[in-house]
Each structure stands twice: as C-alpha cells, then as structure tokens.
C-alpha cells in the first residue's frame, strides 16, 4: 500500500474520534505515529509559538520547520533565534529556489505588488510542496475562525493539495485561548503583535490594522487575497 492510501485509511477510522482530542493528545499521537516523518510547520505567529510550546512539553524530540521567504520582519528572525534558545532545537529553514534578486530578474521587480499569488507560489507554496514530499504528515497551527477557507478544517484531515495527513491541534481554539496560553506559559512571541499586527507575514504584504478592522485586513492590503495557498482544499473524506 502506498503512503497516500495508507494515510487515507488511517484517517477513516480516526477522524471523528480525533475531534474530541486535546491539543496535547493530538501532538502526542502525531509524534508517536509518524516519528521523524512528521514536522511542525510554523511562521511564528501567536498560534505557531503556542503549538511549538505545546510540542516541547511532551518531552520527545520533534521537528520544526518554517518557510523563510527572505522577506520576513527582523522581529520574526529574532523570534526564531529566541525559540531555538528556549527549546534547544534547530528550526529547519525552507528557502525558495530563487533568491530575491533572481526572482526580480526572472519575473520583474516587486512581483508581490503585481501578482502576489505568483510570488507566494514561488516563495511559499512550491518550497512547501517540495518539503512535504519528505513527510507523511504535517502539523499546523491553523484555527477555524481565522478565514473562511479554514472554517471546515478538522483536527486531523487528508490534505488533498499536498497529498499527506494534516494535523491541526488547535483548530477549535479562539484567539483569546491562544493568548491565555502564551501569557500563562510565558511563551516568546513577536513584539509586532503589540503594535497592531495581529498576523505577520512578509514585510511587503503585512501592515498594522486599525481599531475595528478584521484581524487579517493587514495581510495583502489592496488585494482580495487572504491566504498564501498553504491551507486550501481538504479531501471529501476530511469533510465528512
């Protein structure tokens, strides 16, 4: 049986049951089931640092990777170093095939201003696709109430976009629960969150939000885009 069929079989029996699992139970199951073939994916937003801290409390080795677009805020790079020191881990940094200069040469300058979908494809989606080919499952920190595309996410599901199991330990949490956790356990977080940046991506495509604005209004301002393309469609199986 290939990995794909095996993954979908595994889900068939567990998906409903997993909806009542705690985040810690979900993470323990993921690490015990997949070992080195599962990794936590984080962009080091509030949710990402929360899931990283939860994984560290299980007392077992875990892999953590990030998509480094080379356009991140200095505060995000500093936070990554703080996370490595705090948890004694090395973050796997996944880079795009093209450097920023090569992208400018091949696709023209400021691609994010003209075609952010193409820029995200080059700097996030394709590097992620390549990396996920080396895994059987990945762990994300998405929550259902973040965007309409995430509203039907399950705690464990088949990721039809990338062809592996996707595990979302805090899928049913609210933002308030995330921040309670961060303060309770003194988890390091990005100081930009205290300067009206509820979510933080690349410097070119993130701005602070004003009072009353949607928390994701600061991402890709001026475009209808709300997602990088990393968290898209799930299989019909995962929507049952």
* Token couple for 55: 């994984």
The reply to whether 69 sits near ligand SF4 by the rule CB under 6 A is yes
Shortest approach of ligand SF4 to residue 71 CB, angstroms? 5
The reply to whether 71 sits near ligand SF4 by the rule CB under 6 A is yes
Identified binder of ligand SF4 from the candidate list 51, 187, 202, 209, rule CB under 6 A: 202
The 137-139 sheet, strands edge to edge: 92-94, 64-67, 38-41, 137-139, 164-167, 156-159
The reply to whether 138 sits near ligand SF4 by the rule CB under 6 A is no
Annotate each residue in 205-234 with x if it binds ligand SF4 (CB under 6 A) or - if it does not, as one string: x----------------------x------
The reply to whether 198 sits near ligand SF4 by the rule CB under 6 A is no
176-209 burial: b if 16+ Cβ within 10 Å, else e: eebeebbeeeebbbbebbeeebbbbbbeebbeeb
Look-up: residue for tokens 């805090």?
A: 170
Pairing status of strand 164-167 against strand 156-159: antiparallel
Count of chain residues binding ligand SF4 (CB under 6 A)? 13
Sequence-distant (6+) residues with CB within 8 A of 17 are: none
Pairing status of strand 156-159 against strand 64-67: unpaired
Identify the active-site residue in 120, 202, 205, 228: 228
Shortest approach of ligand SF4 to residue 118 CB, angstroms? 8
Residues 151-180 that bind ligand SF4 (CB under 6 A): none
Give the C-alpha separation, 54 to 201, whole Å: 22
Identified binder of ligand SF4 from the candidate list 55, 201, 209, 230, rule CB under 6 A: 201
Give the C-alpha separation, 121 to 133, whole Å: 16
The reply to whether 124 sits near ligand SF4 by the rule CB under 6 A is yes
Check if 202 is active-site.
no
Identified binder of ligand SF4 from the candidate list 23, 45, 116, 218, rule CB under 6 A: 116
- SS3 track for 87-113: HCCCCEEECCCCCHHHHHHHHCCCHHH
- State which residue, 128 or 165, has the beta carbon closest to ligand SF4: 128
Catalytic residue ranges: 228
Binding residues for ligand SF4, rule: CB under 6 A, are: 69, 71, 112, 116, 119-120, 123-124, 201-202, 204-205, 228
């Amino acid at each position: 049986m290939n990995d794909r069929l095996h993954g979908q079989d595994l889900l068939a029996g567990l998906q409903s049951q997993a909806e009542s699992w705690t985040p810690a139970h979900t993470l323990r199951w993921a690490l015990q089931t997949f070992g080195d073939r599962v990794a936590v994916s984080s962009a080091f937003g509030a949710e990402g640092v929360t899931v990283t801290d939860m994984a560290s409390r299980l007392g077992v080795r875990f892999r953590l990777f990030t998509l480094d677009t080379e356009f991140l805020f200095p505060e995000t790079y500093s936070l990554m170093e703080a996370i490595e020191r705090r948890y004694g881990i090395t973050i796997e940094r996944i880079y795009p095939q093209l450097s920023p200069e090569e992208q400018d040469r091949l696709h023209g300058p400021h691609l994010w201003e003209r075609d952010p979908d193409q820029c995200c494809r080059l700097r996030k989606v394709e590097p992620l696709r390549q990396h996920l080919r080396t895994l059987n499952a990945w762990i994300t920190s998405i929550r259902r109430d973040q965007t309409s595309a995430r509203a039907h996410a399950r705690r464990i599901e088949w990721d039809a976009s990338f062809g592996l199991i996707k595990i979302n330990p805090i899928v049913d949490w609210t933002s308030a629960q995330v921040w309670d956790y961060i303060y309770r356990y003194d988890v390091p977080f990005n100081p930009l969150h205290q300067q009206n940046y509820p979510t933080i991506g690349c410097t070119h495509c993130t701005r602070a939000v004003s009072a009353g604005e949607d928390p994701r209004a600061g991402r890709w301002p001026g475009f209808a885009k709300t997602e990088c393309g990393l968290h898209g469609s799930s299989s019909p199986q995962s929507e049952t």
